[in-house]
Amino acid sequence: MAISKRIPERLIFPKGEKISGGGIANDHFTGTAWLQVLVPDDMTFHCPAFNVTFEPGARNNWHKHPGGQILLVTGGRGYSQDEGRKVQVLHKGDIVKVAPGAKHWHGAAPDSWFSLIAIMPNSQKGDAEWLEPVADEEYPVINPGADARSEGEHT
């Protein structure tokens, strides 16, 4: 089953502002992505949430969250990887829990847009630590146009 490269006009949540190439100034991404704040950080819940949408091939740099991170995949096909582990192929409905302090990255497959809700629990522990870009040789090209769920399903 091929997945469209076109970002749907009707996502679950607003696509938000462009992160790279205009809009929000940010050098922590390769390619273009959009960000919409869904739940701002506050002193009661300490759990901001964002809708993040990636164009095909876009990804963020390696990074760490002192309080951990939860990713809820809402559409498209993408990847997530913790340092030292295999890349996981993600589809709508998948959930990824990133341990506090774990070095990781996530982004779209080269042939598909990708959208997720990124939740940062325990935000009082500090902001994300952004690291180096994901090198092209680290970024997988898993059967463009194919459903690669068998390559590493993750829920």
| In a domain? residue 147 | no
Q: For residue 154, is pLDDT > 60?
A: no
Residue type for 70, please? Answer: I
Domain that holds residue 75: 17-124
Instruction: Find the CATH number of the domain harbouring 107.
Output: 2.60.120.10
Number of structural domains in the chain: 1
| In a domain? residue 75 | yes
pLDDT at residue 9, rounded to an integer: 66
At 134, the pLDDT band (50, 70, 90 cuts) reads very high
Q: Enumerate the β-bridge partners of residue 70.
A: 97, 119
At 143, the pLDDT band (50, 70, 90 cuts) reads very low
Q: For residue range 71-92, list pLDDT tens digits in order.
A: 999 999 999 999 999 999 999 9
- Average pLDDT (55-77) is 96
How many other C-beta atoms can be found within 10 angstroms of the C-beta atom of residue 20? 19
At 109, the pLDDT band (50, 70, 90 cuts) reads very high
Single pTM value for the model: 0.83
| In a domain? residue 109 | yes
**Terminal C-alpha separation, the chain:** 20
| In a domain? residue 138 | no
| In a domain? residue 131 | no
